[in-house]
Structure 1
């Protein structure tokens, strides 16, 4: 007995075409270098796709997304690419046109994952050179092959380049491109001392050996208007530390201090023992003695232990006020200082960095840490005592501000359509259960209804997501939750509570401290000295 087979036709594209009369089409362009020639290519691609899309009557121009001078091996490094994907998620794009698979991505995993994600959203990607539309049945297999070839090319080029560099490391013929401060190259490419810069290097080492820290050394160089490395804005403690730790100044050339990972995506990392390093002793004239360099390393290691810095260079005990205190006068951040060191009345204070460097540019005075803590304690207790009069009305106002009347009407209309279609879906289910409609026809109609519901929900969510105040609403809810769990008046300052409730502390010279909370609410307390 022959079986009766009925084909259930695909309805997704048909329904979407009815809901969206014109297909929203964008283009993605990318060039991989900063050269003038490639820049011209970048401009040409942008103009070409804009004209191409606008020439089609059945297409609606959805913009050009173009990343210039970005690598294709890592999707995360391409801002415009990521913005394009977000627009697809919001339902603002139906199709992406791009030149070729290699312009889209050279990382096979990223490429295939992105295409699958877009297919699930109903978004097609068309590759002009390969003539592939990702909505076709054979597209994924072909794309996998092409993306793998593109990735293989990138890895092969990288491997060949790495092998050549490694070979030059091993035989000592590697010619460094970027010369360290204090040195230049002669006509043969050999390192020679640049005396004016070498004097500054000697000054840095001598001052460090005499007890100065890297921050004070940098401050002194800036005060004396010493030209910076590669015309930087000013000297800073990070640059000073790098100079103090660089063995090049004792005549040693250390190669492969950093390396690039082998597989895509290529990532540059500091070599911490993963690969061999190559040391060339007495490679060039030293600026400092080996004894000076050794002594600096001993002092540097000792100070790291004293400051509680781990092997990764991060502070193990970061202060809760670090990077949070802002100067109301100049906008600079405050730095932690100790005063009356060794005295019974030793105190910790925080002072504006701009004021420390130049008191004429900012006249803000330092403020003691205990005063900031007392001000926070007072502010928090006031908030706890009056939160129902402050936070609940604020939350209601934020919710009302989220959308305009027009947006409310659009959302109301979309909700009605979703409700209506959902009811139709339920009726259809009851009809098929009673046998009044063929199952194949039911599936076709049910699929069409589901696609329409999905489309209207996408439009509604896009309206809701674009209305802002998410941080303010989320922060206010979090503050209310914290107060519910800690409804009592605090007698002592709690570091953990401060970290979870405050974004910034703004210090004014008129005797006030403003706490900007996690919901952007600002509450001000007068400074009271104890």
Structure 2
């Protein structure tokens, strides 16, 4: 292409912040300035490339990218902007365009107000101007971040996104009201999940009932999309991650949580999750879609979820069963086609003994035996609570307080010990630093002597922070006896174990190794909200035949 036939690219950009400057920075004003300059200096074949409402920090702008494609195709002779900041406010990227990309394609660059013209040899101050433009962008980003932080601290919605199942109140955008079109879907997702349905079954229900995905619903309501729009037959295909995100959101309890994420840098669009202690929590700000019990059951299942491989059914005790001796998870063993009475659990540490340094024993227990034992003990507890409710509340509350005091005592002792050791290490550091500063200890010796203490100090600091947090929140972790009683009242009786009632009532089960001297196995069941329950009756027992030693084995809940 002849030089005379090439394009003179007139590039305009306006960001949200620039709009506050008024008409002088408007796109229309930029166009007038650029066209007048082109006419006065006899630049032909002018073509405008415009980005309206785009930050100069990002270079993923539609107008800019269209212009660069023309540059790379060899169709551009000159690029003209009102000033350097219109091209961009990223020092490195802007410099790369002016000093590398444009010269490679023999493109002349002009910034009218800054007096920059690459056809001349007097552009030494251009990099400095670019640096000042980036400084402005950084300063603006800090101010915007401060404003958003203040809004988050007041409980205001910063990014405008509303959780699926809600819509913004027309009279107050910071207040949420249930969405009549989607609230029922959220309730159904939670109901199916706590019932024990697999995620794929929830996905099937959503697809069969033609419930639009979050992204497709947003597109239909606003015309915006964060990802490429799916094909017609995928409008109802919900991703697994989206469902888990919904199941974990506390907003469905009626609470507001702000400052959940932060941007990595003002130069990047990537976001990361904020730590829990950096978020702001505002309880009971809008109508809940889910009750506390349902939400907690969902969280329990999320933390213990696993991916079934050979079976279409999640195991009854999934995530609840642990080895009483080593604390490792117990795993289900079953052969293809074998009846359930032959299914059994074994210690995961024992199962992985070839890869583990610490050895444990098998802890083998049949699933049928465990089911019989758990059902009998659950029936015993329910019968006792129904017949002696007030006595149970009093006893369980006292036991909870005693257990909490005991645990707090251990935690405070450990905290005192850790803080004392930290004091000793700090004293050693000061002494070693003083010896190093006075020349009594070389730099190499100082580094060698302090390296081990650095690791210990780091671990102790981390542990003391954990202990302080545990002590501060000890009251919140105490047993909620009345909630357990309310749970018992919801059931007339339980004649069969299901995934739902097992995970509602039981927090965890510990299985200990068989005592071969007495042929007795100890099992501990910890119930939701109250832990171990002592009714004063004889322990619940189950007798089975243990094939390895050819004797009756008695499993006992204690």
Per the normalisation by structure 2, the TM-score is 0.43
Larger Rg: 2
